[in-house]
Amino acid sequence: MNEKLRQLREQAAAKLAEAKALIGTGRPEDLDKASKLNGEIGEIKAQMDAEGNRSAVAEAIKANSQWFDQPVNDLVLPGDGGGAAPAAAGTTPAQLVGWQAAGKTWLSRARGVLEDEGAGAISTKQWNRISQDDYLKTFFRWLKVASKGGSVSSAEMKVLQEGLDDQGGFLAPADVIMRMLTKQPAPTQLLSHVNVVETNRDRIRLPKGVYSTDNKYTSPVRVQWVGEVPASSTAALATQPVFGEFECPVHTAMMYIPVTNDMLEDSGVAMMDYLGRCFSEAQDLGLEDVAINGTGFKQPSGILQSPATAEGSGEPVSVNSTNATLLKPAGLKALQFALPPQYQARARWLMNWTNCAQEIDSWVDGHGRYLWGQMDNGIDRSNYERPLLSRPVVFSEFMPNIAANAYPIVYGDLSAYTQVRRIGISIQILSELNALLNQKVLLARLRVGGDVAEDWAMKIQKVAA
């Protein structure tokens, strides 16, 4: 007992004895004095209770402080390097807790923490409770009501009491991060450079001038120098231009995903939003794939299918790399100069990053200096957007790798490729199709066409000698 508490107790005892003596006299004035003493005794008792509580808390803190300061000499823990040999295999380490359960903590003889598990400075029971939906909803309702000076119901307050912390506040709910962990899709850069045409028909048709005599004129019309008096009435006659037609049909593509009702009901993420993003991602990647490699049969035609050297040949207008199996700097320069100058201003390189760009990036001169536009040997310039031979580079992982007779590089105006969009992606939810399998079916559909409309504006590198 501390000194103050002892003094208060003595004062209370003295006043109690005096009050009893006054009551024994039976005189009215003594009864009034005894009543006044009784009130003073009550005040002293309240002071004693407060001092007693303060003393108890101090003793508890002192006791717990001593407990934490004591080395754990009587425990043999796995991995403990001090004193006795480590515990045998299979021995369960002692579980030590503080004022309340706060996960699990294992200590070494030197009082270092070997392992600490759990929610932290709150009990496992509290952590589980504040992670539940009803606590989260009640907590946010309490925040909303309390901000306006109101109060929640007794039932809601009972829920909040289960998350009461040692300072008298309510623990904030456990935060659940609603994010699906997935890979990142490959970048789709090509589609932002092609020509996009919207249509409400099953195909588009555009008139096209047919002229291939040279790369300077667009038609056979020429200036004729006939002098002051033409030799004949037909001396200035020009060959009539010839017209053809560019036709690009629209094709239909579909995707579907079966998903169980349980997954939709129980998932911690917005599953429909995630599946919608899966469809959108597949659309972007699929359209970039066919814009490069499409066969034209039930799907758009790709850049590597046309332009062709002859009608129906399927062989791209190409420039050889000067080596049967490799790319060479001389081949790249020949490819760039093969494109007429009027298309150079909008020209871009198209290749994949993981194979073709990596090979070009490894090229060095006789002094070990990197060739790809480097002023500093390439050590600090290996970025994703640097130009090649002063022209921008577009990367697509759907471009072929370097191999004999492959076409790994396109150079030119990429808007020469026209993509025709009839209907963008639309998604239906079919509830009855797989109902007996406890599934819903998400069906996506799109209608798109594509082809190279201006074959003279692009050239392709072929890996060949």
The full DSSP string for 85-112 is: PPPPTTPPPPPB--SS--SEEEE-TTS-
Q: How far apart are CA 246 and CA 301, in angstroms?
A: 13
**pLDDT, position 89:** 44
**Which of 102-106, 111-115, 444-448 is the most confident on average?**
444-448
| pLDDT band per the 50, 70, 90 thresholds, residue 352 | very high
Judge whether residue 381 has pLDDT over 70.
no
Judge whether residue 123 has pLDDT over 80.
no
Between 266 and 326, the more confident residue is 326
| pLDDT band per the 50, 70, 90 thresholds, residue 151 | confident
**pLDDT, position 71:** 43
Per domain, the residue ranges of the chain are 3-65, 104-161, 190-221+239-462
Share of the chain above pLDDT 70, in %: 73
| pLDDT band per the 50, 70, 90 thresholds, residue 120 | very low
* Dihedral over Cα of 206, 211, 215, 216: its sign: negative
Q: Which two three-digit tokens encode residue 278?
A: 């899966």
Q: What is the DSSP track for 388-448?
A: BTTB-EEE-TTSPPS-TT---EEEE-GGGEEEEEEEEEEEEEESSTTGGGTEEEEEEEEEE
**pLDDT, position 424:** 82
Contact 295, 302 (CB under 8 A): yes
Span 450-463, pLDDT tens digits: 999 888 899 999 99
| pLDDT band per the 50, 70, 90 thresholds, residue 82 | very low
**Which of 48-62, 314-328, 364-378, 393-407 is the most confident on average?**
393-407
What value does the mean pLDDT take over residues 339-361?
94
Q: Which CATH number fits domain 190-221+239-462: 3.40.50.300, 3.30.2400.10, 2.40.30.10, 3.40.190.10?
A: 3.30.2400.10
End-to-end CA separation in angstroms for the chain: 102
Judge whether residue 165 has pLDDT over 70.
no
**Which of 15-29, 81-95, 177-191, 357-371 is the most confident on average?**
357-371
**CA angle, 346 then 351 then 357, to 5°:** 115
Place of tokens 């239906």: 428
Contact 241, 219 (CB under 8 A): yes
10 Å Cβ neighbour count for 48?
18
Contact 409, 350 (CB under 8 A): yes
**pLDDT, position 4:** 76
What value does the mean pLDDT take over residues 218-245?
82
10 Å Cβ neighbour count for 19?
20
**pLDDT, position 211:** 80
Q: How far apart are CA 376 and CA 393, in angstroms?
A: 20
| Nearest of 446, 419, 448, 447 to residue 255 by alpha carbon | 446
Q: What share of the chain is helix, strand, coil (3-state, %, to 5)?
A: 35, 20, 45
Q: Which two three-digit tokens encode residue 34?
A: 């005894």
Between 195 and 96, the more confident residue is 195
Q: What is the DSSP track for 128-190?
A: HHHTSHHHHHHHHHHHHHHTTT----HHHHHHHHTTB-TTSPBPPPPPP------PPPPP--G
Judge whether residue 45 has pLDDT over 60.
yes
What value does the mean pLDDT take over residues 122-142?
72
Judge whether residue 146 has pLDDT over 50.
yes
**pLDDT, position 91:** 43
Q: How far apart are CA 423 and CA 421, in angstroms?
A: 6
Between 373 and 227, the more confident residue is 227
| pLDDT band per the 50, 70, 90 thresholds, residue 99 | very low
Judge whether residue 84 has pLDDT over 60.
no
Q: Which two three-digit tokens encode residue 248?
A: 């690009």
Place of tokens 């003393």: 55
Q: How many residues does the chain have?
A: 465
Judge whether residue 395 has pLDDT over 80.
yes
**pLDDT, position 399:** 96
Between 324 and 33, the more confident residue is 324
What value does the mean pLDDT take over residues 231-240?
78
